Amino acid sequence: MKNFNKEDIIKFCNKINMPKEILNKIIDKFHLIAEDKVNIFYKDFFELDKAQSAYENLKTYTDNLDEDNICELTVLLAISIECYEKYIEKNIDEKIYIDTMKCFSRFVLENYKWTGKWSFDRGFWVWRQLSLSLFRIGELEFEICYIDDDTAKKINGYKNEKVIYVHIPSDANCKIDNLHLSYEQAKQFFKTHFNAQYKILCSSWLLGKELEDLLCENSGIKNFRKDYNIFESYLESDDYLQWVFNKFDGNIQDFIPKTSLQKAIRQHLINGGKMTIGFGILKI
């Protein structure tokens, strides 16, 4: 891996606004990583059908190096630097590349908010960014996926059809104009760089049917929901614990709500309600 050196990783971390606490840990632990160990499989991250198993190989190696996954993160950042060559090959703007890779900084900040520790917990997810199947375009993230037969029937598609699934980053500004611009830019992006027009889907607790009656009229989540034909809510979900209450578990009655959404969801659950994942297709 030609960019596996401390200086390149430090420069890259500065570009993506990595917190200095994590950067210091990377510098301290860099010597623990044997480059020849990761050279064997790192290129597999750039191929969608191999990327997930490449991450599993990486994790098998780095789990023996430290407990806070900083070594894992360091290797993933080095691979991210290599990944830029793939962006160049597809003539993708550097801004999209940097915006996409800023997920690393966002993830460590989220994990610190949840646990109070400077560590990395999202390696299982970022192979999508490295395999050029997920991109941050404006406020939202867009991932190329293959759908199964059940999903195909819901959207009048076909099994293994390529679609785009939308993800909502925690720092997204969900004003209507921002969201619509993001969709417009994404449609043009995939037409230009992948020569394709995909159906745009979303499966998220943000589309759960219960939320409709719990949101304020000026809610960013309500803005997001308006753009989707929501087919159904399915699967009871506790995703709200992380994203609304910044917790992984606990008794909802013990939570002290601070926002209107926290208050509404807490009361809904105390009254015997449930939270589910909703599925929808973009209608704009």
Give 15-26 pLDDT, tens digit per residue. Answer: 999 999 999 999
Q: Which residues pair with residue 155 across a beta bridge?
A: none
For the residues 71-86, what does the mean pLDDT come to? Answer: 97
Which percentage of the chain shows pLDDT scores above 90? Answer: 94
DSSP secondary-structure letter at 215? Answer: S
DSSP secondary-structure letter at 194? Answer: S
Q: 0.75 exceeded by the pTM?
A: yes
* pLDDT 10s digits, 192-208: 999 999 999 999 999 99
For the residues 226-246, what does the mean pLDDT come to? Answer: 90
Host H or E run for residue 200: strand 200-204
pLDDT for 155 = 92
Kindly tell me if the per-residue pLDDT of 235 is higher than 90. Answer: no
* pLDDT 10s digits, 23-54: 999 999 999 999 999 999 999 999 999 999 99
Q: What is the DSSP string of 49-95?
A: HHHHHHHHHHHHHHTTT-SSSHHHHHHHHHHHHHHHHHHHHTT--HH
* pLDDT 10s digits, 103-136: 999 999 999 999 999 999 999 999 999 999 999 9
Kindly tell me if the per-residue pLDDT of 268 is higher than 80. Answer: yes
Tokens of residue 269, six digits: 């659950």
Task: Name the one residue in this structure whose structure tokens are 């190989």.
Answer: 57
232 — pLDDT class (breaks 50, 70, 90) = confident
Say how many C-beta atoms besides its own lie within 10 A of residue 46's C-beta.
18
249 — pLDDT class (breaks 50, 70, 90) = confident
Choose between 57 and 2: higher pLDDT. Answer: 57
Say how many C-beta atoms besides its own lie within 10 A of residue 47's C-beta.
12
> What are the boundaries of each domain within the chain?
1-132, 133-284
Three-state secondary structure of 113-169:
HHHCCCCCCCHHHHHHHHCCCEEEECCEEEEEEECCHHHHHHCCCCCCCEEEEEECC
pLDDT for 4 = 92
* Pair type for strands 140-146 and 134-137: antiparallel
The mean predicted confidence, pLDDT, of the chain is 95
Tokens of residue 255, six digits: 């939570």
Q: What's the fold here for domain 133-284?
A: Aminopeptidase (3.40.630)
Tokens of residue 230, six digits: 């929501």
Cα separations in angstroms, 241 against 159, 163, 169, 252: 33, 28, 16, 9
* pLDDT 10s digits, 143-165: 999 999 999 998 999 999 999 99
pLDDT for 73 = 98
Distance CA 187, CA 199 (A): 10
Q: Which residues pair with residue 167 across a beta bridge?
A: 141
Say how many C-beta atoms besides its own lie within 10 A of residue 33's C-beta.
20
Pairs from 3-7 (Cβ < 8 Å, separation ≥ 24)? 3/78, 3/81, 3/82, 4/35, 4/38, 4/75, 4/78, 6/30
